[in-house]
């Protein structure tokens, strides 16, 4: 994966993927947010969506897969085919590692309800985290396929050039598969919370849910859709968004395109 510094001196961002996981709630919906432990080097204490960096094995061509092909995803995401395959795989793999929710099933069937809470599944989840097992192995052994049709490309955010740790992150939206539940599995997060996306900004303004601008902006965009059906059908253009960090009156603020600015979580 890219590392080091570019010609401008900025750190080259690492490719990453994250999933805006949604579930029905009454006539509306809820979004899953995770609070990062305060020992994390990046965004400690901030609420985030499940996700993480792309691993070299996410590009594996033998990953069992249904839905839009890596070539189709490459066109949507604006990347080459290996990177598209890796991003979709990373999105699904990281979501399973961090929440126990698996966006996979039997090919051609939506009827299978997966119980990923068993000891066998937990061993596989931990094996993915320590890289002793590959995602291809975990799915193939059970005759399952990654269901790329359950993902919706949402946006792409790049960490500001001034930051020492940078990510080039593709955001996907997905619905919680029927019968599955998210779990507090520890590790990088110390709390998970399902919340109406329309309430997120108020929680952030009151200081109860610190988060980086991409998370806050995305929750607002999802809330504007109103319903899960609205999320499924809204038109999204995937273009890179790179905020800028500036000092204003002695405090650091993050400016996103369009002139909107936000304080950093520690501010």
Q: Provide the CA 1 distance to its chain's centre, in angstroms.
A: 18
* Least confident among 3-7, 74-78, 98-102: 3-7
Higher pLDDT, residue 261 or 48: 48
pLDDT in tens, 5-56: 444 678 999 999 999 999 999 999 999 999 988 766 666 788 999 999 999 9
| Residue 4 included in any domain | no
Contact between 85 and 77 (Cβ < 8 Å): no
Instruction: Write down the pTM of the prediction.
Output: 0.90
Domain range for 239 is 14-263
Per-residue DSSP letter, 161:
T
Whether the pLDDT of residue 74 is over 70: the answer is yes
Domain annotation covers residue 156: yes
Q: Where are the alpha helices (DSSP H) in 100-176?
A: 119-129, 135-140
- Does 168 reside within a domain? yes
pLDDT in tens, 210-250: 998 899 999 999 999 999 999 999 999 999 999 887 777 77
- CATH number of the domain that residue 246 is part of: 3.90.79.10
- pLDDT 10s digits, 128-137: 999 999 999 9
Determine, yes or no, domain membership for 5.
Answer: no
**What is the number of structural domains in the chain?**
1
How much is the pLDDT for 40?
Answer: 64
Judge whether 67 and 147 are in contact, CB under 8 Å: yes
| Domain annotation covers residue 9 | no
Q: What is the mean pLDDT of the chain?
A: 88
pLDDT of residue 77: 97
Question: Looking at the domain assignment, is residue 142 inside a domain?
Answer: yes
Distance, in Å, from the CA atom of 85 to the CA atom of 91, rounded to the nearest integer, reads: 10
């Amino acid at each position: 994966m890219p590392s080091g510094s570019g010609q401008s001196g900025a750190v080259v961002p690492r490719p990453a993927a994250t999933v805006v996981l949604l579930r029905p709630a009454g006539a509306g919906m809820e979004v899953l947010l995770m609070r990062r432990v305060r020992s994390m080097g990046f965004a400690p204490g901030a609420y985030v969506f499940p996700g993480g960096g792309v691993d070299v094995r996410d590009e594996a061509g033998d990953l069992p897969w249904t839905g839009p092909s890596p070539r189709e995803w490459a066109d949507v995401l604006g990347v080459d085919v290996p990177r598209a395959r890796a991003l979709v795989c990373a999105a699904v793999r990281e979501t399973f590692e961090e929440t126990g929710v698996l966006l996979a099933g039997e090919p051609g069937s939506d009827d299978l309800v997966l119980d990923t809470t068993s000891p066998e599944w937990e061993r596989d989840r931990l094996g993915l985290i320590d890289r002793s097992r590959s995602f291809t192995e975990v799915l193939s052994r059970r005759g399952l396929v990654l269901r790329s049709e359950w993902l919706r490309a949402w946006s792409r955010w790049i960490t500001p050039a001034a930051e020492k740790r940078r990510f080039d992150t593709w955001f996907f939206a997905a619905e919680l598969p029927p019968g599955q539940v998210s779990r507090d599995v520890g590790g990088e997060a110390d709390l998970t919370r399902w919340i109406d996306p329309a309430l997120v900004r108020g929680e952030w303004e009151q200081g109860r849910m610190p988060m980086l601008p991409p998370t806050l902006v995305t929750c607002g965009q999802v809330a504007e859709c109103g319903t899960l059906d609205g999320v499924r059908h809204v038109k999204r253009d995937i273009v890179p968004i790179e905020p800028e960090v500036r000092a204003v009156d002695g405090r650091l603020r993050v400016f996103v395109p369009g002139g909107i600015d936000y304080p950093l979580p520690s501010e």
